[in-house]
Chains A and B, each alone.
Chain A
Amino acid sequence: MRRLKLVRNIGLGIENLLLHKLRTFLTMLGVVFGVGSVVAMLSVGEGASKEALEQIRKVGSNNIIISSIKSVQEVSQATIHSHMSIYGLTYEDQFRISETFGHVKQVVPVKLVRKDARLGERNLELRIVGTTPAWFELLRRPVVAGRVLRAEDARDLAGVVVLTDFGARKLLAAENTIGQAVRIGGNFYEIIGIVKSEGGMAGSIQMPDEEIDAYIPIEVAKERYGDIILRITAGSNERELVELHKMVIEVDHIDNVESTAKGIEAMLKRFHKKDDYRISVPLALLQQAKATKRTFNIVLGSIAAISLLVGGIGIMNIMLASVTERTREIGIRRAIGAKRRQIISQFLIETVVLSTVGGFVGIGLGLFIPWLITKFAGMPTVVTADSVFLSVGISISVGIVFGLYPAVRAANVDPIIALRHE
């Protein structure tokens, strides 16, 4: 019975709003844009953080990645005359890290060499990644065909290689090419498996793997390529001695990642005279991503809130005008026996209907804008159910908050004066 009455009152409110279609439409626009911007902005924030999380998941949130880098000083010296640059991570570092830190589960060493590969008619420059089987454990890339490296491969110094799906495609190596030989540099390798690659750079995070990777046992890399790389550039041939190009360190628990990274940094600082390494902690990026999302939400949320506020004030303004315009009607209703609260609910229902309908249209807009952003700006966006519910809640609240004052004003009109009102 009461519910039926509410439905009827809402119907009457809608009828009244439809008497002034243009005015109602214009008043509603404020809420439409307000709610639309709330949904759209939250979706941008959500999209950004989801993408960051996705990237971090690919790197592994329990991992710490250390890369060797050539210091600036080294670079300038090298260009002057033929010179041997010695820099980067060492076997010693690997040993120390795995021995010193209790929370380090394993350290995966990586040696990198760039070589041309040849399979049949096809050529491709590959990045040879000399590493241990644990690499595949840490990065969890799906195996497309064959198998990944095994301990026996290292023990036997087997000339085996795991290609990425990208590399395999480029070299026209199909699944049935497992077991086939590929020539990389001057050596032949048997293709034992193909894994999926997430590729070099994803957003702000440098992935440890690249599309053109070819994984071989690190012992084989050491034996076949040594530690010294000769680079022939215009005018000078430059030699570099780098023992390890990367280390991927797995920490036992996510809570220990930060402290372990700090410990490693302190230790490397002690043993390296030059600043020739870079530590990257995906987890820190995760936290940064979360902080960014929060800032994003606060800033964008405030802008959206302001536009909602403006929308609300618009509603209030129109409702106040409407109360004045309908003073006589209010007087008539009161004379007939309407109670104050019935007048309040009449006006309040109108504003809430207005703002709620505006809210729903706004949600439509809030779904459309992110779609446009993703389509044309390529930015990831995610509209969550939460943000939609939030918007419905907000728009109803806007109606109540900004409708209450005009409604109370209406109810407090003196019926006698109202009846004389022209």
Chain B
Amino acid sequence: MINQADKNEDLVIRLEDVHKIYQMGDQQVNALAGVSTTFSAGGFCAIMGPSGSGKSTMLNLLGCLDRATRGRYILEGTDVSTLDDDALSELRLRHLGFIFQSFNLIPQLTVQRNIELPLYYLGWDSESSAERAVELADKVGLAERLNHRPTELSGGQMQRVAIARALANDPRILLADEPTGNLDTATGEQILQLLAELNEQGKTIIMVTHEPDIAMLARTRLHMRDGLIETIEED
């Protein structure tokens, strides 16, 4: 769905003074303390920063899994901050793809069924879903593993399945929270290579990472500290 009203086609995401405050007893944690930034369409951005700086909080917010305590979040021209739970689910279903550090595959489902999951919620019939799952598994190099369970796969393979699943709904934006965090360097690099390819094919990618080497592959690096953006580096 292309929003014609959005004049600045390059801007996919805009955050305006976004706060996320967690109330811990009588103590307040400012996970995000007034973030304002934009992410452009087709970009590849790495979010970096020390542990606890608010990276995951920001990514969850961008992924419509969470809501800002204060501030505005405009996703492809829509002000997401005002939407209800169903509308946020709908956004995640149609426009976003998630990749997690711990893969988050459903263990009792086969690789194919895991990849088909978003299509199931999109209401696809089983034949077209299966077709698409095969196509995606092929794309991430796991055509032979379709009937395996996630537990029978290596970490790298599991992350490939997760990527295939994130791609199933053909999202404009891919969000990855430390996608290589649980992988060895070589495998991590392969996964990153895959993400870079996807970015070249036009996906907007926002990725949280600790590792500077990995971050170097992104075209934009966003450094966070104490819930705020410190610096933004662009190639």
Contacts and interface: CB of A to CB of B under 8 A. Distances in A.
A151 interface: no
B37 to A, nearest CB: 21
Among A331, A338, A340, the one with the most B-chain Cβ atoms within 10 Å of its Cβ is A338
Given A336-B98, A338-B121, A416 B60 contact: yes
A22 interface: no
B28 interface: no
B25 interface: no
Interface in B98-140: 98, 100, 104-106, 108, 117-118, 121-123, 125-126
B90 A337 contact: yes
A340 B86 contact: yes
A339 B98 CA distance: 16
Contacts of B117: 332-333, 336
A337 B169 contact: yes
A5 B96 CA distance: 24
A334 B98 CA distance: 11
A142 to B, nearest CB: 65
Contacts of A335: 63, 65, 92, 98, 104
B89 interface: yes
Contacts of A14: none
Nearest to A419: B104
A8 interface: yes
A419 B92 CA distance: 15
Contact of A337 (B66, B92, B106): B92
Among B91, B98, B104, the one with the most A-chain Cβ atoms within 10 Å of its Cβ is B104
A340 B90 CA distance: 11
Nearest to B104: A332
A342 B92 CA distance: 14
A16 interface: yes
Among B63, B89, B94, B165, the one with the most A-chain Cβ atoms within 10 Å of its Cβ is B89
Given A8-B126, A19-B108, A419-B100, A337 B118 contact: yes
Interface residues of A, number: 21
Nearest to A415: B65
B104 A328 contact: yes
Number of contact residues on B: which range applies? 20 to 34
B114 to A, nearest CB: 9
B93 interface: yes
Contacts of A4: 125
A138 B142 CA distance: 88
Interface string A1-35: 00011001000000010010000000000000000
B60 A337 contact: no
Contacts of A198: none
Interface in A327-379: 328-329, 331-340, 342
A380 B184 CA distance: 75
A337 B126 contact: no
B121 to A, nearest CB: 5
B60 to A, nearest CB: 5
Contacts of B86: 339-340
Contacts of A329: 106
B197 interface: no
- Interface residues of chain A: helix, strand, loop or mixed (majority): helix
A336 B93 contact: yes
A342 B108 contact: no
B126 A336 contact: no
A328 B121 CA distance: 17
Interface string B16-44: 00000000000000000000000000000
Contact of A342 (B65, B100, B121, B169): B121
Interface in B35-87: 60, 63, 65-66, 85-86
Nearest to B96: A337
B62 to A, nearest CB: 13
A332 B118 CA distance: 10
A416 B66 contact: yes
Contact of B85 (A5, A331, A336, A340): A340
Contact of B89 (A19, A332, A338, A419): A338
B165 A336 contact: yes
Interface in A300-329: 328-329
A332 B106 contact: yes
A416 B65 contact: yes
A399 to B, nearest CB: 22
A337 B121 contact: yes
Contacts of B169: 337
Contacts of B96: 337
Nearest to B98: A335
Nearest to A342: B121
B91 to A, nearest CB: 8
Contacts of B126: 8
A64 B91 CA distance: 80
Contacts of B90: 337, 339
Contacts of A415: 65
A156 B65 CA distance: 105
The 5 closest A-B pairs by CB, nearest first: A337-B93, A337-B92, A339-B89, A332-B104, A336-B118
Interface of A: 4-5, 8, 16, 19, 328-329, 331-340, 342, 415-416, 419
Given A331-B104, A338-B89, A419-B100, 6 more contacts: A332-B117, A334-B65, A335-B65, A337-B92, A338-B93, A338-B121
14 contacts: A5-B123, A329-B106, A331-B104, A332-B104, A333-B121, A336-B117, A337-B90, A338-B89, A339-B89, A339-B90, A339-B121, A340-B85, A415-B65, A416-B66
